[in-house]
A and B are shown apart, each in its own frame.
Chain A
């Protein structure tokens, strides 16, 4: 063979040696960049949110740096691909903390990863914002450094249940999820909450997202008398199959649930555009347009700036991009207001926000409340009405 064994051995020893050599760190100068860690699932399953967040992050960082940075210091994002794997997420997070020495972390974006990385960041007192939905991730006593800037799963569940019971006014629901960890837990919690509110759960199931035919499950739901189908899945493939099957069955029923049902790629996955109607996905006031097609002024401003910067919004959701922008802004503002990249200062600043006006939402944090998103800002959207990543409000809202 061409390469000799000795060459490979020496070469790899050299590479490993170089990677593990520890250069002495220079003293921190005031003009050193502000480093933000971004542990993202870029090549794992369901990376669509990550791609959306990434666009927001890049846009916000470029904008801030172009305007001179934060008090003369540039922002630098250090990205690591966690592939949706908690093991890689733990490694990446620790590397960002101890080796890359970032000043704050935005992420991770997958609940399984977040469950494993949160204790590590807490131990290192690393300021952390993330959008993951699992309830136990936020605990101001155990994890004083962790802040959530998106709704928790309970908030999502409340919004969906509220829409079904109080606006659509149904009594019997079917609850369907995929077989991921998230899907199994979300379905369980949702079913329990529906029952507590006096509704009847006619059918519940966790379906493998790759199951090619949804007809048996939808037939069973129909036979059980379901009046609405609540969906807790991140798999757009599975959702598309359900929409197409509903049309094939000629069943006039609404789907209500997870925001992924409004995802742009569904346009290509449904057989006919009509199949995507009467699907109501979780949305946000900030990203919804009214009956005359107008977005709230602040969101419109963001969309205009994004389009001007050639950031694509059509094939993603605005709330992902807005979330990414807000995260960077929150970190930048914290450094600016607290005067340094000290973690205690950043956390103190975040704890003081009573109504921080972001693009995605208005955040309220306090030393005892780290779930920053306000429940009243969650709405249901008409899933197929996407325009530049924003949606029309579902019917029934006044």
Chain B
């Protein structure tokens, strides 16, 4: 019992954490919280199933195509829903535009892919029971992604340019960094991360169009807990959420477990509005 809660909790938590990282990546270069983060993860599962099962491609090719497709969706998000509203003074418009785009993505998936959850192929086939692939794959994918991002942000020039734009937009532009191109690139990167989340979580969550809305919320909780823009905090928050959710499912059953999750989320946020790892807002006067 305990082992299965641990396995499924960590697996679900890893997926939530990756969606949280997707949010953070989009936020970091645009200061926009995009409602399309969860939809990108949903597309990771749907595209993955489509390429590998429906079209019968080899796994690696299907995986890469999925990531490319998700990156394209990420870029479309930037062009259509983010760039136009950054110009305007009213910051809250991004909520509307990304919401509309997320709804469009969800509807197309529902119509073209279908409204029933479709199967996702077994990828490697190692393990069974508590060590089944559907449990360890998301965790491994999460770890690799985080390691990759750390390397990107710390060791490569492009990564450091991302960090620069995130920390001080004006200074970065003054230094001549191509802000717009970097923003598009970071949205593509966010798409890739979302795709990884959906692809690695496909066996657990199945290729289901309604996953998008679900992951939008559960992927945001790690962001809230970990502090905006803080990837490490998102990982910890995501894993904690996954474990808590599975434990609640076990202890109080389906209906009340979501009540428990949301209630805890609100309580934690009220106690520490900046998140468990976030920083207090700077001087405001």
Q: Is any CB of A less than 8 Å from a CB of B in the complex?
A: yes
Total chain A interface residues with beta-carbon distance under 8 A: 31
Known: A47-B115, A248-B128, A268-B118. A208 touches B8 (CB 8 A): no
Confirm or deny: B254 has a beta carbon within 8 angstroms of a beta carbon on chain A. yes
Cβ 8 A contact of A48, one of B1, B115, B255: B115
Which residue of the partner chain A has the closest CB to B108?
A43
Whole-angstrom distance between the Cβ of B105 and the nearest chain A Cβ:
13
Known pairs A1-B84, A213-B246, A237-B206 / 5 extra A-B pairs, C-beta < 8 Å: A206-B255, A207-B254, A210-B205, A216-B250, A217-B250
Of the listed residues A207, A210, A216, A268, the one surrounded by the most CB atoms of chain B closer than 10 A to its CB is A210
- The answer to whether A212 and B116 have CB atoms under 8 Å apart is no
Cβ of B89 under 8 Å from chain A:
no
Task: Give the distance in Å from the alpha carbon of A218 to the alpha carbon of B204 in the complex.
Answer: 17
Q: Closest residue to A236 on the B side, CB-wise?
A: B116
How distant is the Cα of A216 from the Cα of B6 in the complex, in angstroms?
A: 11
A216 touches B249 (CB 8 A): yes
Which residues of B, 249-268, contact A by the 8 Å Cβ criterion? 249-250, 253-255, 257-258
Partner of A212, one of B53, B115, B204, B210: B204
Which residues 167-213 of A sit at the B interface, judged by CB distance below 8 A?
178-179, 184, 205-208, 210-213
* Residues of A that sit less than 8 Å from B by CB: 1, 43-48, 178-179, 184, 205-208, 210-213, 215-217, 219, 235-237, 248, 263, 265, 268-269, 271
Chain A residues with Cβ under 8 A from B107's Cβ? 43
Question: Given contacts A205-B253, A213-B4, A248-B129, are A269 and B115 in contact (CB under 8 A)?
Answer: no
B5 touches A216 (CB 8 A): yes
Interface pair B8/A206, CB less than 8 Å apart: no
Question: Lowest 8 A-B CB distances belong to which pairs?
Answer: A213-B8, A268-B119, A208-B254, A237-B117, A215-B4, A43-B110, A47-B115, A179-B254
Is residue B208 within 8 Å, beta carbon to beta carbon, of the partner chain?
A: yes
Query: Which residues of chain B have C-beta atoms less than 8 A from A45's C-beta?
Result: 115, 210
Q: Which of A44, A213, A219 contacts B7 (CB 8 A)?
A: A213
Q: List 23 A-B contacts (CB under 8 A).
A: A43-B115, A44-B115, A45-B115, A45-B210, A48-B116, A184-B255, A208-B249, A208-B254, A208-B258, A212-B8, A212-B134, A212-B246, A213-B246, A216-B1, A216-B4, A219-B1, A235-B117, A237-B117, A237-B206, A263-B116, A268-B53, A269-B117, A269-B119
| Bound complex: CA A206 to CA B252 (Å) | 10
Is B254 in contact with A205, judged by CB distance below 8 angstroms? yes
Q: A269 to B4, Cβ gap below 8 A?
A: no
Which residues of chain B (106-143) have a CB below 8 Å from chain A? 107, 110-111, 115-119, 122, 128-129, 134
Counting CB contacts under 8 A, is B225 at the interface?
Answer: no
- Chain A residues with CB under 8 A of B250: 216-217
Q: Which residues of B contact A48 (CB under 8 A)?
A: 115-116
Minimal Cβ-Cβ distance residue in A for B208: A237
Q: Is the CB of B12 within 8 A of A212?
A: yes
Taking CB atoms, residues of chain B closer than 8 Å to A206 are: 253-255
B241 to chain A, nearest CB (A): 13
Q: Which of A1, A43, A206 has the most CB of B within 10 A?
A: A43
Q: How far is the CB of A328 from chain B (nearest CB, A)?
A: 23
B228 within 8 A of A: no
